[in-house]
Structure 1
């Protein structure tokens, strides 16, 4: 059995996921403003706008004087511009509405097994924290989704100033948890940013791989979670 004291968690697509694709949510907001745009086009435009913004202003522009709110407002506006919407007044209204909407539980759902697994981990006496490449809305989202109470600390890349796979965000978690790396494990769905990055600082880690995802041959089977509910059994076997 692994002698773990601290478990750190990724959030998006590990504990929470979007209720509907971004393109569909954006298209619904556009319809509410009397603008017709296809969800598929908005989905493609969002990926393009988000990718460009992430390259030019990494980690929500934190090192370049942007607020994450402004960063996201710019992404939303550019998404609609790429899809042919150019009315500045409408763009501003939609961007502000969507920024606030994505802070609420109406746009997020808890993944199967998350509530039960987190509760069981707390009952076993594990200290728990969040390590996420998210902006400062995360704490409120976790509260609205009734998950916040499981965690002793929430580390977002915006607050810390380092984004996974940078090991410094994990090192801060270890300091907050007052544990050595070998006493901690990280759980997430991304091979590079979660699984590999945590191991690079000496932590244990488990990769959540939902059905349909590609296999990562570098990950031993005993480190793979086909569902969150498998976590405690893997820890006890480790």
Structure 2
């Protein structure tokens, strides 16, 4: 069956946080510029804590706590405030920011991160999407676990013009990847008659590759890397069926698609 629609994960597939994904660096710069010019985060520690608290928050309140009546701003505030509190505790300066000031910091960071300056597109992102949409004439969609700011981020990065639809938890009844419901929502929005007419591309095996396949979509695992040793390691650690669907940049993905003549990858 011919592929009629291609869906993409966004973060770490088409775009990433600027400065090589260094979230804590941006947090520190925002606080320094807008809150307290004498305060700087310990970047390495804050990045470690960001990953820890993000994972914790996501396990306790998946989908931005939609099912618990939360909103994404409050969800992210929990992470930001915990990252800053951990940094302050390590410096024995826990009295610098009270709860009101921490709320202010988290709100500012939340709003700042819709700006293009905090994001960067992967190499040839625009040219690949242009060829898919205008030359190959396939529908393009997004399946992402990002919050509702994604619409503004895509607009600010001039990415919104490529896509026919976007599926995120806030427009999928709170369901997030790897839930099958968000893929079902994408099938409905795509207008395709059959799941095998859709190809999903993402960087995460557990959130993209496997649940897409479990939903009878085709799927490609895209792991951005340039080091030959890293590529060999990734290939070595994947089962054979995944190896055949693994690519290392957007150009390689496009070449694979061309060589396959838009036939399905299942």
- TM above 0.5, yes or no, is yes
Structure 2 segments unaligned to the other structure (5+ residues): 89-93, 261-266
CA contact (8 A) 1:45 1:80 kept: no
1:205 and 1:164 map into 2 onto residues whose CA distance is: 14
Find 2:160's aligned residue among 128, 144, 148. Answer: 148
Q: Number of residue pairs matched?
A: 237
Find 2:114's aligned residue among 88, 94, 103. Answer: 103
TM-score after normalising by structure 2: 0.84
SS of residue in 2 equivalent to 1:83: helix
> Are positions 1:80 and 2:45 aligned together?
no
The alpha carbon displacement at 1:74 in A equals 2.0
> Are positions 1:163 and 2:164 aligned together?
no
Q: Deviations over 1:93-138 (max 9, x none)?
A: 2211110111111100111121011000001110111000110000
1:8 and 1:233 map into 2 onto residues whose CA distance is: 17
> Are positions 1:175 and 2:188 aligned together?
yes
TM-score after normalising by structure 1: 0.93
Q: Which residue in the other structure is 2:217 paired with?
A: 203
Find 2:73's aligned residue among 69, 74, 81. Answer: 69
The alpha carbon displacement at 1:195 in A equals 0.9
Find 1:229's aligned residue among 243, 248, 251. Answer: 251
Find 1:138's aligned residue among 150, 157, 174. Answer: 150
Query: In angstroms, what is the RMSD of aligned CA positions?
Result: 1.6
The alpha carbon displacement at 1:205 in A equals 0.8
Moved more, 17-26 or 124-133: 17-26
Find 2:201's aligned residue among 171, 181, 187. Answer: 187
1:220 and 1:45 map into 2 onto residues whose CA distance is: 31
2:186 and 2:104 map into 1 onto residues whose CA distance is: 37
1:111 and 1:70 map into 2 onto residues whose CA distance is: 29
Q: Deviations over 1:1-41 (max 9, x none)?
A: x6110101100000110013111112222323132331112
> Are positions 1:40 and 2:44 aligned together?
yes
SS of residue in 2 equivalent to 1:125: coil
2:122 and 2:53 map into 1 onto residues whose CA distance is: 27
CA contact (8 A) 2:4 2:139 kept: yes
Q: Deviations over 1:205-236 (max 9, x none)?
A: 11112223633422444412221112233223
The alpha carbon displacement at 1:169 in A equals 0.7
> Are positions 1:57 and 2:61 aligned together?
yes
1:164 and 1:29 map into 2 onto residues whose CA distance is: 30
